[in-house]
Chains A and B, each alone.
Chain A
């Protein structure tokens, strides 16, 4: 029996995990003080083996400094609220286990880059969602609605599966060096969401979207640095999706 054989092993994995000390080094910013300036602040905590960066932030907020501001909701990598720059890389705080980081050194946490910082780890998400809205991220069809469902083969459905996983956390877009220097660039997330419809067999708006993305702030700004693919907490092959959109612009006739 699998369960019998594996239970003790799972037990050791799940058993008493020693606690450890960790220093969190956070970038703080309080807009309510005179001449607000970003500054670093360190907190030392005792944490446990299965704790995530989000648990550490909560521990600071709940036990040490209630004014620490960050967004979070689902706490298991689905809602996309808590993208942050953790040790220099964009990740979700709720999906990053402390034990997977080097806890012998302070763990740095900063807001994601390229969007205006509002307070501590909270940034203004409006420019990000504005780019998303510009690519017409919704199914476009013509003619009457069918009386039952539209048919779609499993293969057609699989064609755009990867890009349906996006949770709009902005980890990809705010890891992109082009986006950092040019806030007008649509950014990877918007292109991913365009891809999701361009390659959906039911959609008839591909041409319009490709025209939008053929813009000077569109897909051609991408320099294929792969930061976005590395940053995506959903494992979407973002750079590949962008490349497929580029190819579609070249090969599809307008």
Chain B
């Protein structure tokens, strides 16, 4: 075992982690610990853009952006946080441009902007051009640009180190003096354990899309940061709200950006009908993702799907000029050609919703400090990006607001972590902080377990796709919970065939699976208890939004079976939504 000491340790090297590192590495001794080489992070897969009311191509202002974010999130957004994000969006985009990000340009040489789902002028009048973009590779450019700047600043990285535990000084539920003391990491190359002490810890580990089978997320998006914090007693907020992106490549889940519809592509059913006209008459194909995804699933359910099994709809770009497609949407059209053999110039592309984004996560305040209950923070612990829930996305995130979130709150996290470290003392480590994770690794690597990691994971993902996807009912969610409980039992007997210490990727997949099981349970228990439909969470047995009962954030805590929600290891509480200037209204587009 090795021990290291820093002022700030940042876990995760995607957009949020690297944006934080750029702030903190100049102010405090900083290390970034990442399970992947930084440029492998899934920020790089984001396509369409990053919204900011620059008003470079038409009238716009940050207040409209705030409103769209609040309405898009079906009023579960904390409005103070949304205001911070929309205001700071402008500088966030300009920061990136100054770092060298190659945005597309207007004829005047300014940053170009285009339309995106749910982003409107003057509180819903019509779509507005707000998304700053670099073709359909905006995330790639952000990731590369931030990494370039990290190289320039000589940021210290621990690459291919998996953080499997966070060290706290006590129990966040009962200990008012609980502090963060460090993290425990597993070095993939050697199998060695590293305890990394720090005054400030920033979680920026991204999402958990692999709880589902059909997903746009990378294989590595297993919610490690969320699960690690949760297991130590930190609550998870609003986890039942998962975004299903409307246009995944059918059968594969690979993302085709909403920018396609922003540039004019149209969704059609098997009869060729532009069905979004029926569901969102004003902004049609550019309605928010939850509405479009549900509409698509409904078309398929009612027999209007395309294909031999009528199980997808079609994204039609054939009326767009090929030169325009090449200039604005080069990557996604190549995906259609490579993976489905479809030529988007002349053929519509088969698409179906794909699990895309966790609106929920580790609760934080607007300075990215982690909350251990509805009001109190854990000093020295911060979170930003998809792993966190500020909450700027509420029950449904608008397209482009994730790239914005990681930049705005990643920057805030880096500054806050460094400032905290400047005045705080290092916390004493508890005795043998690595013992728990070491025991778990030994159990799996050296034990006699016979259950197969891939088989359990497949069963979990299939149950989640079947029971907790776009449409949910009490019965489907109870089934999912039963499945998860049974799979957790099997996970107790999991084993691996690779007993080696070098690059034991089978072992890390086993640990990641444990995280997925915990998170799937939190998603399902939160969804069972939320007897309403709001944003990304749609209950067929409760199809309406219920502000009287459920205009509240879900806060899920780990507990012993029997102490929380029946048949689960989860205890639920609720937290009020911060409302500043927008009272809830019916959500129509």
Question: Which of B75-83, B106-114, B420-428 lies at the interface with chain A?
Answer: B106-114
Assess whether B42 is in contact with A73, with CB atoms less than 8 Å apart: yes
Contacts of A164 in B (CB 8 A): 102, 134, 137, 141, 144
Of A2, A74, A157, the contact of B44 (CB 8 Å cutoff)? A74
Q: How many residues of B contact A (CB 8 A)?
A: 76
- Interface residue A197 (Cβ < 8 Å from any Cβ of B): yes
Contacts of B137 in A (CB 8 A): 164-165
Assess whether A138 is in contact with B100, with CB atoms less than 8 Å apart: yes
Of A7, A75, A137, A154, the contact of B218 (CB 8 Å cutoff)? A75
Q: Give the shortest distance, in Å, between A196 (CB) and chain B (any CB).
A: 8
Among A30, A80, A122, A149: residue with most chain B CB under 10 A: A149
- Interface residue B140 (Cβ < 8 Å from any Cβ of A): yes
- Interface residue B57 (Cβ < 8 Å from any Cβ of A): no
Known A6-B348, A203-B100; contact A32-B501, beta-carbon cutoff 8 A: yes
Assess whether A66 is in contact with B497, with CB atoms less than 8 Å apart: yes
Assess whether B251 is in contact with A81, with CB atoms less than 8 Å apart: no
Assess whether A79 is in contact with B339, with CB atoms less than 8 Å apart: no
**What is the bound-complex CA distance between A228 and B143, given in angstroms?**
23
**What is the bound-complex CA distance between A5 and B537, given in angstroms?**
35
**What is the bound-complex CA distance between A11 and B340, given in angstroms?**
11
Of B39, B94, B255, B271, the contact of A149 (CB 8 Å cutoff)? B94
Assess whether A95 is in contact with B141, with CB atoms less than 8 Å apart: no
Of B45, B108, B339, the contact of A78 (CB 8 Å cutoff)? B45
**What is the bound-complex CA distance between A10 and B307, given in angstroms?**
7
Question: Which residue of chain B is the closest to A1 with respect to CB atoms?
Answer: B272
Assess whether A72 is in contact with B306, with CB atoms less than 8 Å apart: no
Contacts of B502 in A (CB 8 A): 30-32, 118-119
Assess whether A146 is in contact with B497, with CB atoms less than 8 Å apart: no
- Interface residue A67 (Cβ < 8 Å from any Cβ of B): yes
**What is the bound-complex CA distance between A133 and B94, given in angstroms?**
25
Assess whether B342 is in contact with A137, with CB atoms less than 8 Å apart: no
Interface string of B345-358 (1 = CB under 8 A from A): 01110100000000
**What is the bound-complex CA distance between A148 and B90, given in angstroms?**
10
Assess whether B340 is in contact with A151, with CB atoms less than 8 Å apart: no
Contacts of A161 in B (CB 8 A): 102
Contacts of A119 in B (CB 8 A): 500, 502-503
Q: Give the shortest distance, in Å, between B344 (CB) and chain A (any CB).
A: 11
Of B41, B219, B454, B505, the contact of A69 (CB 8 Å cutoff)? B505
- Interface residue B506 (Cβ < 8 Å from any Cβ of A): yes
Assess whether B319 is in contact with A2, with CB atoms less than 8 Å apart: yes
| Interface of chain B residues 78 through 118 with chain A (CB within 8 A) | 93-94, 97-100, 102-105, 107-111
Known A154-B105, A200-B100, A203-B100; contact A76-B339, beta-carbon cutoff 8 A: yes
Assess whether A151 is in contact with B42, with CB atoms less than 8 Å apart: no
Contacts of B308 in A (CB 8 A): 11-12, 14-16
- Interface residue B498 (Cβ < 8 Å from any Cβ of A): yes
Q: Give the shortest distance, in Å, between A171 (CB) and chain B (any CB).
A: 14
**What is the bound-complex CA distance between A168 and B384, given in angstroms?**
26
| Interface of chain A residues 158 through 177 with chain B (CB within 8 A) | 160-161, 164-168
Question: Which residue of chain A is the closest to B252 with respect to CB atoms?
Answer: A50
- Interface residue B486 (Cβ < 8 Å from any Cβ of A): no
- Interface residue B40 (Cβ < 8 Å from any Cβ of A): yes
7 tightest Cβ-Cβ pairs between the two chains A and B: A139-B100, A62-B454, A151-B109, A67-B498, A1-B272, A3-B272, A66-B506
Task: Provide 11 A-B residue pairs closer than 8 Å at the C-beta atoms, listed in order of the A residue.
Answer: A6-B347, A13-B340, A32-B502, A61-B506, A63-B454, A73-B218, A79-B218, A129-B37, A149-B93, A151-B110, A200-B102
